[in-house]
Structure 1
Amino acid sequence: MSDRFIVLSGCSGGGKSTLLEELSRRGHATVEEPGRRIVQEELAKDGTALPWLDLAAFVRRAIAMALADREAMRDQPGLIFFDRGWVDAAAALEAHTGEPVLATLAAQHRYNTKVFLTPPWPEIYAGDAERRHGLEAALAEYARLETGYPALGYETIILPKVPVAERADFVLARL
């Protein structure tokens, strides 16, 4: 099952969601980023599990949502592309609280061993109502993921800074 689960991770604002849309357009199953969905839900109900209000609650919820996404896609045929995975949220939780969750989850909830990372791309980075952190925070996040995934036995593949169709071709050629 996990070989079909492909993670697109990396720097915030690096083009993951755009790439996910292109892969969906090409007929692949996709799963949107847990963090964005959580922020949208919390803002709609005036909640507090937001990264700028309660980061620990936010990332715990993102871990749970990412694990539920994996389970929900278990019977979906073919490759499934995830805009981030539980590793992203667990790395943030460990950095924020020191809680050792990565190793605990790593053995049971694997993705394909190839993880595609969007590198920092300041020229396209943009904040919005759901992404309120700046590029500096995005760079720190990227550094955690760049070391976190390999520490769990994943091969990270840095995506080139090219138009989205070429990025999709790049991903599919490496799978």
Structure 2
Amino acid sequence: MKTKKVLIIGGPGTGKSSVLHELEKRQFTCFHEIAREVILQAQREGIEQLFLKDPLLFSKKLLEGRIQQFKEANESEENIVFIDRGIPDVIAYLDYKKDDYPAYFLEDSQNYKYDEVFIFPLWEEIYKSDNERYEDFEEAKTIQKFLLKTYTNLGYKPIEVPKNTIENRTDFILKKLSL
């Protein structure tokens, strides 16, 4: 049995985590964003913003973690799993920062394929910065454009999740997946 891997993407502060929590409440298996773990570990090591200080090192750690999540999802006994952010997000953010990266970053994005991609639109009313989310809303808009471009260039057709309540956004995703 092949586990269907459904990716949830979108700029910072678009409500992805809230919907993942709702999916978990409904007994679906979810893999959460790992960037916060990487950021918090760097902060424990005295680096306030690893992405700003060493974007390539930060991105390598994210890439490794997201590949690991992908492999764990593949090994799951579930019919479907939901994943908060995917491997291509890494190159989208590096392109946004205009940073160079090794060719294997793109190769990994091409080799590890997700079955469906849902993109959450920017929503200023729910957007909040915090200790790990340093981007302001204008930066989030630009990141959103890079995410959409990256996934589209890789052959994905992201489905936009409408702005609505957490429950209705979750229902929308499940209906699109015929669940």
The verdict on a shared fold, with TM-score over 0.5 as the criterion, is yes
Match of 2:114 in 1: 111
Give, in whole Å, the separation in 2 of the partners of 1:52 and 1:2.
Answer: 38
Match of 1:65 in 2: 65
Structure 2 letter corresponding to 1:53: K
Alpha-carbon shift at residue 62 of structure 1 (Å): 0.8
Structure 2 letter corresponding to 1:129: N
Question: Counterparts of 1:30-49 in structure 2 under 5 Å?
Answer: 30-47=30-47
Match of 2:7 in 1: 7
Give, in whole Å, the separation in 2 of the partners of 1:94 and 1:51.
Answer: 13
Give, in whole Å, the separation in 1 of the partners of 2:2 and 2:93.
Answer: 22
Structure 2 letter corresponding to 1:155: K
Match of 1:20 in 2: 20
Match of 2:81 in 1: 80
Alpha-carbon shift at residue 89 of structure 1 (Å): 1.0
For normalisation by structure 1, the TM-score amounts to 0.90
Question: Do 2:3 and 2:81's aligned partners in 1 also have CA atoms closer than 8 Å?
Answer: no
Give, in whole Å, the separation in 1 of the partners of 2:3 and 2:71.
Answer: 14
More displaced 10-residue stretch of structure 1: 91-100 or 51-60: 91-100
Cα RMSD (Å): 1.9
Change (3 A) 1:43 1:116: same
Give, in whole Å, the separation in 2 of the partners of 1:98 and 1:133.
Answer: 20
Change (3 A) 1:125 1:101: farther
Structure 2 letter corresponding to 1:32: H
Identify which of 146, 149, 170 aligns with 1:147.
149
Structure 2 letter corresponding to 1:150: T
Alpha-carbon shift at residue 97 of structure 1 (Å): 1.9
Give, in whole Å, the separation in 1 of the partners of 2:4 and 2:31.
Answer: 13
* Aligned length, in residue pairs: 174
Alpha-carbon shift at residue 33 of structure 1 (Å): 0.6
Question: Do 1:91 and 1:102's aligned partners in 2 also have CA atoms closer than 8 Å?
Answer: no
Question: Do 2:9 and 2:118's aligned partners in 1 also have CA atoms closer than 8 Å?
Answer: yes
Q: For each residue in 1:120-158, what CA deviation from the matched residue of structure 2 results, as whole angstroms up to 9, or x when unmatched? A: 101110001111121121111100111111111111111
Secondary structure of the corresponding residue to residue 51 of structure 2: coil
For normalisation by structure 2, the TM-score amounts to 0.89
Give, in whole Å, the separation in 2 of the partners of 1:2 and 1:128.
Answer: 37
Q: For each residue in 1:39-88, what CA deviation from the matched residue of structure 2 results, as whole angstroms up to 9, or x when unmatched? A: 12222332467223222221221111100111122221121111101110
Structure 1 letter corresponding to 2:111: Q
Question: Do 1:29 and 1:79's aligned partners in 2 also have CA atoms closer than 8 Å?
Answer: yes
Identify which of 119, 122, 133 aligns with 1:120.
122
Question: Do 1:35 and 1:62's aligned partners in 2 also have CA atoms closer than 8 Å?
Answer: yes
Match of 2:93 in 1: 92
Structure 2 letter corresponding to 1:149: Y
